[in-house]
Amino acid sequence: MDRMLVVVFDNENKAYEGKKALQQLDDQGDVGVYGYAVLAKKADGTVTSKQGDDIGPIGTLAGTSLGALIGVLGGPAGMAIGAAAGAASGGVFDLHNVRVGDDYIDDVSKAISPGKFALVAQVDEDWTTPVDSRMEALGGTVYRRALSNVTDTVNQEEVNAMKADLAQYKAELAKERADRHGKIQAKITELELKIAAHQEKVQARKRVAELQAKAKAQRLQGKANARPSL
């Protein structure tokens, strides 16, 4: 199951140990890691990325739920990190990609208080015990949430609503006086641009999902090839 993991630690060294433990679990096949970042929250409330990398074929945080979550947790500083990743890779930084509930974000945001460090990772995990055991042994507190597809449904509902408004404006354009045409046409143009932007977000999310599915298949195949033959 695709999940978001946030593990909160009291100090930086433990966060790095947590990162290494997660990589070891990935090597052992207990969990599949798509990407991670180590974050630190300063006394003034700003968040910095201490260390981050993408494991496997995905190659960038941009456009992923992980990149979006970093942006949300980090506030303006985190969003700058996400935007920079997007600019560097040509990817899309979209907060709709977080794909976890507001309650989860609230819980994690409260847990990462000033002076705390967090290992944030997007993983494929069928069994929670391996990660929990390793992280708890290091003093980490684990927050996890399965990634949801609900944002795609919400986005489509928004598009459908805008299309209904667009149809209404076009119908009125044919009936209204000439002096009203300019204002109505401006509304039509605005809605058409918004619809196009929403549809591009849907396509971007689909491309990311396809990339992650391909990455998962490649990782599983690579691990299978690495196993010694009997």
Instruction: Give the pLDDT of residue 203.
Output: 76
Count CB atoms within 10 A of the CB of residue 120: 26
* pLDDT of 32: 86
Residues 17-31 as b/e (b if ≥16 CB within 10 A, e otherwise) read bbbebbbebbeeebb
- Give me the helices (H) in the chain, please: 12-28, 65-89, 102-111, 129-137, 150-173, 178-226
The residues, ordered by sequence, that sit 6+ positions from 26 with a Cβ below 8 Å of its Cβ are: 32, 33, 55
CA 178 to chain centre: 47
**Separation CA 173–CA 197 (nearest Å):** 23
Alpha-carbon torsion angle 51, 52, 56, 62, nearest 10: -170
Q: Quote the radius of gyration of the chain (alpha carbons, Å).
A: 21
Enter the tokens of residue 174.
């044919």
Cα–Cα distance measured from residue 97 to residue 122, given in angstroms and rounded to the nearest whole number: 12
Task: Give burial (CB, 10 Å; 0-12/13-18/19+) of 155.
Answer: middle
Is the pTM of the predicted complex or chain greater than 0.75? no
Encoded tokens for 100? 């976890």
**Tens digit of pLDDT at every position of the chain (230 positions):** 888 899 999 999 999 999 999 999 998 889 988 888 899 888 887 777 776 554 443 445 545 677 778 777 765 444 444 444 443 333 334 555 567 777 788 888 889 999 999 999 988 888 889 999 999 999 999 999 887 655 555 567 778 888 888 898 888 888 878 888 888 899 899 899 988 887 877 777 677 667 767 766 776 677 677 766 65
Q: So what's the pLDDT on residue 230?
A: 56
* φ, ψ for residue 89, nearest 5 deg: -110, -5
Query: What does the pLDDT read at residue 192?
Result: 92
Alpha carbons 110 and 15: distance in angstroms, whole number: 17
CA gap 117, 6 in Å, rounded: 10
DSSP letter, residue 139:
T
Q: Which of 177, 101, 180, 82 is nearest to 143 (CA)?
A: 101
